[in-house]
Amino acid sequence: MKLLTLIIIFAFITLIPLNSKAEVMFTSTIEPPSKEVERVEVLDDQLLGDRDLWLETKALAKERTSRTFIASKLTTSDKKTVPEHIKSYPAKTVTATGYTAGEESTGKNPGDKLYGITFSGVEVKRDTYSTIAADPKVFPIGSILFIPGYGYGVVADTGSAIKGDIIDLYYETVDDVFNEWGKQKVKVYVVKKGDGSFSEKELLNLNGN
């Protein structure tokens, strides 16, 4: 019986014309990856030292609307209300980007030596007073800035790409960087100018811990 069944199936297959619809059953519909996806994969390992390029390239791998996300973030932020008492402090317009403690920003992973540790020695923190990176020639370590849309940031870190009027705001995840900040030109207020040092104890005190 099994032999007869096999013979019938074989005969049926050989009688199907090659241009019939049955041929579609054996045709692959998998399309090759787009050039944009290939570009992301090729460049991914080369972007750790260039956060701006990283942000731009990662956007290609997100939804189509993400392609305009960074561009939409390049305008001066005036959407957040600045408290009246803050307006009396010296102000400076800077370009602010976002970063994480992870490999995509620092090249380090949890468990690596100095993972999550800033230039000043304190651990990265997103809180009422968060740790941020800046050029110490512009904002010395320990400086406290009020950043509209972000809150208070304490300069605790530096970076090879953080030069001049550029600051880098710490976020806990990459999604937070994209969804909450991206890249913005913003007027920041210098609440306190640092003296070049900052400690974990000072950060804890600022956050009421």
- Decide: helix, strand or coil at residue 136: coil
Q: What is the pLDDT of residue 37?
A: 36
What pLDDT digit, counting tens, does each position of 21-79 carry?
A: 333 333 333 344 443 333 333 344 444 445 555 555 555 444 433 333 333 333 444 44
109 located within any domain: yes
CATH label of the domain that carries residue 141: 2.40.40.10
- pTM above 0.85? no
Q: Which two tokens stand for residue 31?
A: 């399309």
53 located within any domain: no
- Decide: helix, strand or coil at residue 132: strand
Q: What is the pLDDT of residue 55?
A: 56
Show the low-confidence residues of the chain (pLDDT under 70).
1-79
Report the chain's terminal Cα–Cα distance, integer Å. Answer: 81
Query: How many domains in the chain?
Result: 1
Q: What is the pLDDT of residue 36?
A: 37
Q: What is the pLDDT of residue 51?
A: 58
56 close to 40: Cβ distance less than 8 angstroms: no
Q: What is the pLDDT of residue 154?
A: 98
58 located within any domain: no
Q: How far is CA 158 from the centre of its chain?
A: 17
5 located within any domain: no
47 located within any domain: no
Note down the domain range covering 114. Answer: 74-206
Q: What is the pLDDT of residue 132?
A: 98
How far lies 26's CA from each of 18, 20, 21, 40, 174, in Å? 11, 11, 10, 32, 41
Task: Give the pairing of strands 91-99 and 166-170.
Answer: parallel
